[in-house]
């Protein structure tokens, strides 16, 4: 089976529509949370996602927009956008967001969470240290995550692996490494290794590349293709402007920061 795995759409319909064009052939879409927040089209993004066979888990913005978590923990811009989103949500969207689980195991050997297996809502896995700690909090071969908006693979070596000589992977005894992804390339998950894979963000990339990010996962081969696609950023920015969403949130889309 082939699965389109996406995260952090953030109400950016123009970006999401472009990604969807590339996911037409997949068997199911797995969305790792933050369907809403930041962007100008929360309801439309939920509707589009719901029109496909899909699974979705909750992100911090999804829960913030419906009042399930405290917005005091958000940055000011995020809070303003989240409050705006909350006011915009239709009853149908509200209902959709209220029923999202925090974690899913859709097939053997796969875990889906928004932030991290240890703290699905809030933790950002940004280093091999964070990843190393999190490998103890799930049992499947791979956990797919979002939340940081930065695509990356954390690979944990089998217990008896001798680490190669070369740059240190961190503190002594650490057996996990970070691997960057190359656009359009296939990454195969190796036998005996375990993985935490961040699929990047559809609607607000933060790795310096403004193009929308997603992967297509093949559950038979245990491999995935990593993709970035351009979308009409100005379309989203104009809607954000007319809704008076914070200026930095508009600006950052141009640069992918």
What residues line the site for Zn ion (CB under 5 A)? 8, 34
Q: Which residue is nearest to Zn ion (CB)?
A: 34
Least distance from Zn ion to the Cβ atom of residue 110, Å:
21
Q: How far is the CB of 245 from Zn ion (least distance, A)?
A: 15
Helices marked H in the chain: 13-21, 42-50, 60-65, 76-88, 91-98, 128-134, 233-242, 247-255
Query: How far is Cα 171 from Cα 167, in angstroms, rounded to an integer?
Result: 11
CB 39 to Zn ion: min, Å? 10
CB of 51 vs Zn ion, minimal distance in Å: 22
- Toward Zn ion, which CB reaches closer, 32 or 176? 32
Q: Which is nearer to Zn ion, 8 or 41 (CB)?
A: 8
CA distance 245 to 40: 8
Strands 28-31 and 2-6 come out as parallel
Q: Decide if 128 contacts 170 (C-beta within 8 A).
A: yes
Burial-class residue 68 by CB neighbours within 10 Å (0-12, 13-18, 19+). middle
């Amino acid at each position: 089976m082939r699965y389109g795995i996406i995260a952090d759409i953030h109400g950016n319909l123009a970006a999401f529509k472009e990604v969807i064009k590339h996911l037409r052939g997949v068997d199911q879409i797995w969305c790792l949370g933050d369907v809403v927040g930041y962007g100008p089209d929360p309801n439309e993004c939920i509707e589009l996602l719901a029109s496909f066979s899909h699974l979705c888990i909750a992100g911090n913005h999804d829960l913030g927009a419906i009042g399930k978590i405290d917005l005091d923990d958000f940055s000011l811009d995020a809070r303003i956008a989240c409050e705006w989103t909350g006011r915009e949500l239709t009853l149908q969207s509200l209902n959709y967001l209220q029923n999202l689980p925090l974690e899913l195991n859709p097939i053997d050997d796969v875990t889906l969470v928004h932030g991290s297996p240890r703290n699905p809502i809030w933790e950002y896995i940004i280093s091999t240290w964070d990843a190393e700690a999190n490998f103890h909090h799930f049992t499947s071969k791979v956990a797919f995550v979002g939340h940081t908006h930065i695509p990356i693979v954390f690979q944990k070596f089998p217990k008896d692996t001798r680490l190669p000589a070369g740059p240190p992977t961190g503190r002594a005894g650490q057996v996990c490494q970070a691997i960057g992804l190359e656009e359009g390339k296939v990454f195969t998950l190796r036998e005996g290794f375990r993985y935490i894979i961040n699929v990047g963000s559809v609607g607000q990339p933060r790795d310096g590349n403004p193009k929308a990010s997603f992967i297509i996962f093949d559950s038979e081969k245990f491999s995935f293709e990593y993709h970035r696609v351009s979308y009409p950023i100005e379309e989203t920015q104009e809607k954000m402007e007319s809704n008076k969403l914070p200026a930095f949130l508009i600006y950052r889309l141009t640069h992918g920061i």
